[in-house]
Every structure is written in C-alpha cells, then in structure tokens.
Amino acid sequence: MKITVHRGMDQIGGNVIEISTDKTKILLDAGLELNPIEETEVIKTEDVVENGFDFDKLLRENDFSAIFISHYHADHVGLLSLAKNLPPVYMGKLAYDIFKATEEYKNNIVNFVPAGYFYDSKPIIVGDIRVTPVFADHSACDAYSFIVEAENKTVVYTGDFRGNGRKNFSSYLNKMPQNVDAVICEGTNAGKDGVNAKEAELENKMADVMENANQVFVLMSALNIDRVVTVYKAANKVKRIMLQDVYMSLVTNLCGNNIPNPCTFNNVYAFTSKGMDEEEYSKYFAGYGNKKMGEKQIADKKFVMCVRSSFKNYLQKLNSIKPLSGSVLIYSMWDGYKNQKTIKAFLDFAQSLGMKIVDIHTSGHADCNDLERFLEKINPQYIIPVHTVNTEWFVEKYGTEKVVRDKIFIV
C-alpha cells in the first residue's frame, strides 16, 4: 500500500492524502490551506492555486475511485468546491447536510452529492481498499478517523480528533486496531505543554462569568457543536436565554432535537445580525414562529448571544438601544486568531463599548497525553505526522526509525 501526502505535512490543515494499491487509488480529505476562521467569508479560488497546489490537475492526472472526507472543516473539505470532475465522495450524512446548508447560506454552490454516508465502524469497500470510518470527537460534529485496509496492510488516518470532548475517548480507542502498519496522525498540539480542559469544565467557568454581567456575548465558531452545548448549559445555569443567529440556527437545527436550537428548545431564540429582504427573511425564519427576536425585544432580556467578528454593526445597534457597558465578551476560539485583523478589530470594538473580554476555550485537537495514549493503543510500526508544525515532537518521542518525514511512503 502506497501513502502519498500531497499536502498536509509540516503544516496545519490543507490535508490531501492519497492511498493507492496496484488496482485502486483513493484520497483522504481535500482541504484548503486557509483557516476556517470566519465562516461567512467567501473563499477565493486564486488563493489555492497561488499556494502552488492544483487540485483539479491532481484529479485529471489520476483515476481516483473515491474521496473520503473526515469532517466539514474547510481545511479538510474546502478543495471539493473548486474541482470540476469529482470522483465519488463519501462523508458523514450530518457533516454533508451542515456543509451544504452553510455553503448555500454563503451563496456557494455545492457541486456534489455523496455516493455514500458513514456509519460508525461500518466499512466501505472501494476496489481492493476497505475503509472503516470511526466516529471521532472534534470541534466539528460528525467527524471520523479512518481505518484503511488493503494488500494485507492496515493504516489508520486520524483526521482531526481529541480526547477532551463529550464523547468517550476510551470507547474511541477500543474501536481502533492494534499493531497497525502505519498511522497518519494529526499533531496540532504536538509538543505543547498542558492538558486540555474538558468541554464540561468550561461550562462552570462560563456560568461564573455570566452570573453578574450586564449582557453576555460569546465569540465562537457556529460549527463547534460541543461548544454550542457548553454555552447553552452555562446560560441555562444562570437563567439567561441563548441567542443564535440564523447561520448558527441552520446548523443546530440540522443536528437534531438534542442540540440546543430555536425550534425545540424553549429558551433558545433566533436573530439575524445582517439586514435581510422579505424573501430572505421568510426563508430563514420560516420555521421559528415566536422563536425569533428583533433588537428591541432582545435588548429587554438577559441574554447570552453567540457572535462572530462580522457582528460589529449589530452590536453597535444593540448598544444604541441599551448600553452594553458592563457586559462580558467570552472569547472561545483558538488564541492565535487574536492576531488576525478582523478578530483584533472586533475585540477592540467590544472593549470600546465597555465590555470585559474573558478567555474560555479548550482545543479541538488531542493534547500530548491523548496523542500518546492513542499511539500506545494502536502501536504503529510507522508514524506519518500531518496537520502539525511540530514533527520534531514525534521524532523525539518515537525516534527517526518510526517517524516518517517522506511524502511518499510504502508500507
């Protein structure tokens, strides 16, 4: 079995990994290099080609039988929208529904319907390659790792995963094979000190901060479903309503009745931060009945509002109805995003309104302890680090014999 890391080695995201046998070629993930920071931002085609990677050319020059998408983050799925002739695509059903709804919200056309969907631990066979998706915990829901078997070899691809979410890490580990020939392992947090806080621990921290604040805003990704649950539980503890904009509501409604959403949770409401014409308004608010709120209604309530950095004007509007000083903005994303222009401007703006900024976040990626636990369990002969800028950590820990730095490797 041949493994080719077309992209994703020594960088975080942009994964494109090929697995091939004599008879069959498949791809694992087709990601953009851009960070999926601002979900409402339109991705430009030129950026991808400028980065020296021509996905369309790769598809033209190879006869791939399938593409397996681990999860809906743009750094794993984003290239698909740019391709002209896609081979059959496989991904999670909910992952696809969320991907489609959010792309269409951004007026992007989704150019494929999956040839099949994943079910936890149920193999999909393509030619002489067998791929078993294993449900993984990550800051995107409906995410998977893959067990790839062919030519009497077993290779695991982690996709993005962690051990500190609400899913049980031990049961994930129990589904994994042992003594595998190789693992293509994400290492976003490789070499970083400290242990990831549990998603559930954030809940108490958030509730404490929410208790005495005027109003509460949470700057976060609308696609991070675990975090939506955390924010909801905290808001519930301090008896505040939760406000989700139409974009987040689109996502949470798709996730089903158990995830806080404006349709089935009586203390969750929908709003829009952007002006909409009548047609758009009725399209997005059709199912919400009395669960939608305008600014004036909102200003009268004690609330927790999930926001993104594009909401500056909307916050300004709320502030003019009722001053927001004494409010709290919970920053619940990766710390590094603070250096980005739009995020920085948004935080400065929040402060100028008299808001206090409090950081409450935990990573969507395995910390070193969990990486070690995982690697101990599957006991791989070779480790191919991807989605990391710290391959050195793997080398120091597991040695040059075991850790592969070549983009093409045969097991």
The footprint of Zn ion (CB under 5 A) covers 13, 73, 75, 160
Least distance from Zn ion to the Cβ atom of residue 165, Å: 12
- Maximal C-alpha separation, the chain: 67
Q: What are the start-end ranges of the H helices in 212-340?
A: 225-237, 246-254, 278-285, 295-299, 312-321
Task: For residues 370 and 351, give the distance between their C-alpha atoms in angstroms, rounded to a whole number.
Answer: 36
Least distance from Zn ion to the Cβ atom of residue 204, Å: 26
- For residue 36, give every residue at least 6 positions away whose Cβ sits within 8 Å of its Cβ, in sequence order, or none: 73, 74, 75, 78, 221, 223
142 vs 160, which CB is nearer to Zn ion? 160
- For residue 314, give every residue at least 6 positions away whose Cβ sits within 8 Å of its Cβ, in sequence order, or none: 273, 274, 295, 307
18 vs 137, which CB is nearer to Zn ion? 137
The sheet carrying 241-245 orders its strands as 268-271, 241-245, 303-307, 216-219, 328-331, 356-359
Least distance from Zn ion to the Cβ atom of residue 163, Å: 15
DSSP 8-state code for residue 108 = P
13 vs 165, which CB is nearer to Zn ion? 13
248 vs 411, which CB is nearer to Zn ion? 248
Least distance from Zn ion to the Cβ atom of residue 12, Å: 7
Task: For residues 337 and 351, give the distance between their C-alpha atoms in angstroms, rounded to a whole number.
Answer: 17
Q: Which residues of 217-228 are buried (b: 16+ CB within 10 A; e: fewer)?
A: bbbbbbbbbbbb
Least distance from Zn ion to the Cβ atom of residue 185, Å: 13
Task: For residues 261 and 228, give the distance between their C-alpha atoms in angstroms, rounded to a whole number.
Answer: 9
Joined together, the tokens standing for residue 232 give 């909801």
101 vs 357, which CB is nearer to Zn ion? 101
13 vs 87, which CB is nearer to Zn ion? 13
Angle CA(96)–CA(262)–CA(321) in degrees, nearest 5?
Answer: 120
Least distance from Zn ion to the Cβ atom of residue 312, Å: 26
Joined together, the tokens standing for residue 63 give 């006869």
Least distance from Zn ion to the Cβ atom of residue 216, Å: 26
Count helices and strands in the chain by DSSP H and E runs: 14, 19
144 vs 311, which CB is nearer to Zn ion? 144
Least distance from Zn ion to the Cβ atom of residue 120, Å: 18
CA 383 to chain centroid:
24
Partner residues linked to 241 by β-bridges: 303
70 vs 327, which CB is nearer to Zn ion? 70
308 vs 387, which CB is nearer to Zn ion? 387
Strands 303-307 and 216-219 come out as parallel
Per-residue CA distances from 318 to 233, 254, 292 (Å) = 24, 28, 16
145 vs 319, which CB is nearer to Zn ion? 145
Least distance from Zn ion to the Cβ atom of residue 15, Å: 7
